[in-house]
Amino acid sequence: MAAAGITTDEAKLYDRQIRLWGVEAQHCMRKSSILIVGIRGLSNEVCKNLVLAGVGAVTLLDHEIVKGEDLGAQFFVNKDDVGKNRAVASADKMRQLNPRVSIKTDTGDVKDKPEEYFEKYDLVCLTDCDLETMIRVNKICHSYKKKFYSAAVYGFYGYIFTDLNKHNFTVKGQEKEEEFVDMETALKKSDWSSLSNKKLKRMSPLLWALQVLWKFEQEENRLPNNSESDFAKLKVIRDSLSVLSNLQPSMIPNEILNSLASAPETELSPVCAIMGGILAQDILYAVSHQGMPINNFLVFNAHERVEVSKPRLSQGQLLNALLVKCLSSKSSLPGFSLILEGHPRSTLLDITFNLRRDANLSDLAPQLINQFNDWPK
């Protein structure tokens, strides 16, 4: 047996993540019991990552059957599974990923489960559930001090909500503690006027658009179906929410409501992959007590583009990067264009001058000059 209850075989299998998180974190993951509610595209991604990471046990809870439209984003079922229970149809392929993980199924409805049902799990994750169910299960988990996640994908959009009660975790060797609130408390914030316009503009309108969508689902007992009447209803709810929350209606633009209403039940594989990867990683953070987890809401809008600027290195940093590259590549120069991108030719000349002064690296200076003769002045 290896340290912390991890066998030698497991230490070999999970070697890379043990190097990252440590044996104790792997042991915490190995003994964790996780309930996943709703087996669709998003939860497929989550389960895949959890099972491969080596959590102890995963229970799949879903009362629905596999339909033809489930074959798009779900990869644990195929056409032969149509008509079967989603959880049961998915379980065998999950077990094949990692036989060390216990995979159980439950074909009941989460809405019918008594409070004590959730007590036996370390972490409960709901996917694609309505607001009433999320709030109820979250309250139960909060009272039992169980970790709770809720998430969904609506076409090009998605969200993750986290309530870990009082959670201790380690970041870069430092112990930290953070308090979480339940979903009902988080959604009770009804006055956003205290925030400056600058801060409001930094917030995604999707946070409020999702509340409009959930209110629609509560009142109509379904999601919108891309009709003019449903879009009109969403706008009425939006205007009411704006008044109650002291928000300008423009903070929840028609474009995002229209896009949400167009295909809220559609699962797009790329969106499921992104959200499922983030959610699974955060669950692993939570059960292993390693890394800072999401606190409250995270929202995702696939229509948004984030510009990432590359920071410019100082000449000293650039010279160091070049020297390291030269030494590690034994005088070959692949990848230098990426290192030097955004720097003027004068910087390159200064560096080659410094290289010439070093007897061990002087032969590299001509190579640099030859490679970057056309470098912009």
Q: What are phi and psi of 320, to 5 degrees?
A: -60, -40
Mean pLDDT, all residues of the chain: 83
pLDDT digits (tens, 9 = 90+) for 240-275: 988 878 788 888 889 988 888 888 888 889 999 999
What's CA 213's distance to the chain center, in Å? 21
Nearest alpha-carbon partner for 289 in 151, 174, 125, 186? 174
d(CA 108, CA 119): 17
Token representation of residue 367: 């190579």
pLDDT digits (tens, 9 = 90+) for 198-228: 777 778 889 999 999 999 999 999 999 888 8
**Between the CA of residue 116 and those of 40, 104, 129, 139, what are the distances in Å?**
25, 18, 20, 12
Q: Provide Rg for the chain, Cα atoms.
A: 26
CA angle 300, 302, 305 (to 5 degrees): 100
The answer, yes or no, to whether residue 173 has pLDDT greater than 90, is no
d(CA 8, CA 153): 39
Domain 3-189+266-301, what fold? Rossmann fold (3.40.50)
Quick one: pLDDT at residue 316? 56
pLDDT digits (tens, 9 = 90+) for 104-138: 999 999 999 999 999 999 999 999 999 999 999 99
Q: Are 192 and 246 in contact (CB under 8 A)?
A: yes
Token representation of residue 243: 């008044």
Q: Are 146 and 129 in contact (CB under 8 A)?
A: no
d(CA 371, CA 176): 49
Q: Where are the domains of the chain?
A: 3-189+266-301, 197-262, 315-371
Q: At what angle do helices 269-288 and 23-30 cross, to 10 degrees?
A: 110
Model-level pTM?
0.78
Residues 6 or more apart in contact with residue 87 via CB below 8 angstroms: 39, 60, 61, 62, 105, 106, 107
- The runs of H, that is alpha helices, within the chain are 8-13, 15-21, 23-30, 41-53, 86-97, 131-143, 183-187, 197-202, 206-220, 228-244, 254-262, 269-288, 315-328, 336-340, 345-357, 364-371
Q: At what angle do helices 206-220 and 254-262 cross, to 10 degrees?
A: 50
- Mean predicted confidence (pLDDT) in 73-77: 92
